[in-house]
Amino acid sequence: MFCSFCGSFIGDEQARFCPRCGHILNEYRPPAQERPPAPTGHYGNERSDAWNGHKNKVIAATLVLALAFGALISMDTLVYPDDSYKKIEIQTVTDDTYFELSGDFLLERGIFSVSLTDSGSIAFALNEEISSKYDYYYWKLFDRDHVSSNSTSFYMKYNGDTLDKDEPILYFLSQKAGEYDISVECCVESGGDYICKAVYSGTVSYVGTITKEYVWKYQGKEYSAQATFGYEDYRQYRDADPYGRSFSSFGYSRIPSFVTYDTGGVGTLADSLAEAYGGDPAGQDFASFVLAFVQICFDYPPYTSFMDSDKYQYGQDEYFAYPLETIFYGMGDCEDTSILAAALFKALGYPAGVVVIPGHALAAVGLDSYSPGNYRAASYEIISQTVGGITYYACETTCSSPQGIGLVSSYGDKGTPYSEFVGKQRYGFYIV
């Protein structure tokens, strides 16, 4: 069938709402149920377990954020006379933070309002004139920047969070950077049933500053660092090259272009790492410290035998992420964390690059002098290459504990040491 409002094809004949514009397709009667008690308090009970999100090694994340909204139609207002559903309005919060509003959040419509609470939440509310007509509400929130929102796996995909309540207001329990789609089904009580009479929705972006904080241990001592950047900066990288993030679309020669080291987030993190180190931010010792930070503080995305990590995180077979994307999510596969490590090395003044070997990627750092330290030759080999008079050493980024610069698994590809592939065909060191 097709939506009578926007014309989109809808494959599910039992669908209640158009997935594109939110137009209600038929009168919906939720199953008869006992009226659940209203949540106690405004914050502690207003989020399902799924709202806790993916817990990674970033200890604290997110201060001010960004939301953005797409349109939805209610039964009470079936037709918009113009293209206002495509419109975006700005609602200023402070000098450097603001909401981007669209759909039923447009101020001119007077349907929804959005605000920050003193308790650090975001409040989405229906206006009193509309909410006075209804008895119960089915809210849904979809975080567009959730780590698995684009996953191609049915059972691992994030599909949003829902909440049933008799209050016409929804609280998001933190001021988390991102873009959010909100919808609410407004119901009246009739004979023990709740009958949906109107649906409203929109998209909100709260654009501002994000701070990611990290705590980790290295050589028996605890360290801390942080990265600060604007949500708009992250969003620009997220939306860049949406269909050109794989080897098949650009070839490995373009990998250095992903090593963007002069951005605010990478720069503030690099400066914070230098401050945390406390010694001379140069030479192999400091480079090892930086590498250990990436190894310990950034997770490898979930994967299965039939779904690789990029499909889980980005919904694509292969996806090369910019450093700010990896910082935003706190995770990335081999090429993503290698690109991040190379960007940090470059921001700190080291010659740097990315190494491509069969089925794997590594970071590279150029050093004037190098010592492999103690290592087991049966387990590791040293991979390096001299380019332009500088010797670069490979850096493994996907281990969860420190592994020294230059040391790479000796098991190689199908029994062939990785070092034998360097310089052959497309394999080798790609210098930034």
Same domain, residue pair 250 and 131: no
User: How is residue 63 written in tokens?
Assistant: 């201060």
Per-residue pLDDT tens digits of the chain, which is 432 residues long: 444 444 444 455 555 554 444 444 443 333 333 333 333 322 223 433 333 333 333 333 333 333 333 333 233 333 444 565 579 999 999 888 999 999 999 999 999 999 999 998 999 999 999 999 999 999 999 999 998 888 877 778 889 999 999 999 999 888 887 899 999 999 999 988 999 999 999 999 999 999 999 999 999 999 999 999 999 999 999 999 876 788 777 788 899 999 999 988 999 999 999 999 998 899 999 999 999 999 999 999 887 766 788 888 888 888 899 999 999 999 999 999 999 999 999 999 999 999 999 999 999 999 999 999 888 888 899 999 999 999 999 999 999 889 999 999 988 888 899 999 999 989 999 999
Asked if residue 30 belongs to a domain, the reply is: no
Question: What residue has token string 């497309």?
Answer: 426
Return the pLDDT at 255.
Answer: 92
| Neighbouring-strand partners of residue 143 | 180
C-beta of residue 143 within 8 angstroms of C-beta of residue 329: no
Same domain, residue pair 270 and 398: yes
Asked if residue 96 belongs to a domain, the reply is: yes
Same domain, residue pair 268 and 361: yes
d(CA 155, CA 158): 9
d(CA 301, CA 289): 23
Asked if residue 223 belongs to a domain, the reply is: no
CA-based R_g, the chain, Å: 25
d(CA 406, CA 362): 10
Name the amino acid, one letter, at 183: S
Asked if residue 320 belongs to a domain, the reply is: yes
Q: How many structural domains compose the chain?
A: 2
- Sign (positive/negative) of CA torsion 408, 413, 416, 419? negative
Asked if residue 31 belongs to a domain, the reply is: no
d(CA 85, CA 69): 10
Q: Rounding to the nearest 10 degrees, give the CA dihedral for residues 261, 263, 265, 269.
A: 40
Other C-beta atoms closer than 10 Å to the C-beta of 284 total 19
| Neighbouring-strand partners of residue 140 | 162, 183
Same domain, residue pair 369 and 249: yes
Same domain, residue pair 414 and 276: yes
Same domain, residue pair 318 and 418: yes
d(CA 249, CA 243): 8
The CA-based angle 310-315-320, given to 5 degrees, is 45
Return the pLDDT at 66.
Answer: 33
| CATH number of the domain bearing residue 368 | 3.10.620
Range of the domain at 96: 49-207
Name the amino acid, one letter, at 348: L
Backbone φ/ψ region at 237: left (φ over 0), alpha (ψ -120 to 50), beta = alpha
d(CA 131, CA 225): 46
Asked if residue 339 belongs to a domain, the reply is: yes
Half-sphere exposure of 256 (CA within 13 A, CB side): 11
pLDDT digits (tens, 9 = 90+) for 267-302: 999 999 999 999 889 999 999 999 999 999 999 988
What are the φ and ψ backbone dihedral angles of 164, each rounded to 5 degrees? -105, 130
Same domain, residue pair 74 and 128: yes
DSSP string, 8-25: -B---TT-SB-TTT--B-
Q: Where a domain ends, among 159, 191, 207?
A: 207
Same domain, residue pair 152 and 284: no
d(CA 1, CA 9): 6
Asked if residue 415 belongs to a domain, the reply is: yes
* Strand stretches in 108-208, DSSP E: 112-116, 122-126, 136-143, 161-165, 169-172, 179-190, 193-207
DSSP string, 154-180: TTT----EEEEESSSEEEESS---SEE
User: How is residue 333 written in tokens?
Assistant: 């596969």
Q: Where a domain ends, among 185, 207, 229?
A: 207
Same domain, residue pair 270 and 160: no
- Residue 303: strand, helix, or coil: coil
Q: Which of 335, 352, 345 is nearest to 396 (CA)?
A: 335
pTM: 0.79
Asked if residue 41 belongs to a domain, the reply is: no
Same domain, residue pair 274 and 133: no
| CATH number of the domain bearing residue 77 | 2.60.40
The runs of H, that is alpha helices, within 219-352 are 231-238, 247-250, 264-277, 283-297, 309-313, 323-329, 334-347
Same domain, residue pair 186 and 281: no
Q: With both helix axes pointing from N to C terminus, report the angle between 283-297 and 264-277 in degrees, rounded to the nearest 10.
A: 120
Same domain, residue pair 333 and 409: yes
Q: Which of 194, 132, 142, 204 is nearest to 167 (CA)?
A: 132
DSSP 8-state assignment for residue 60: E
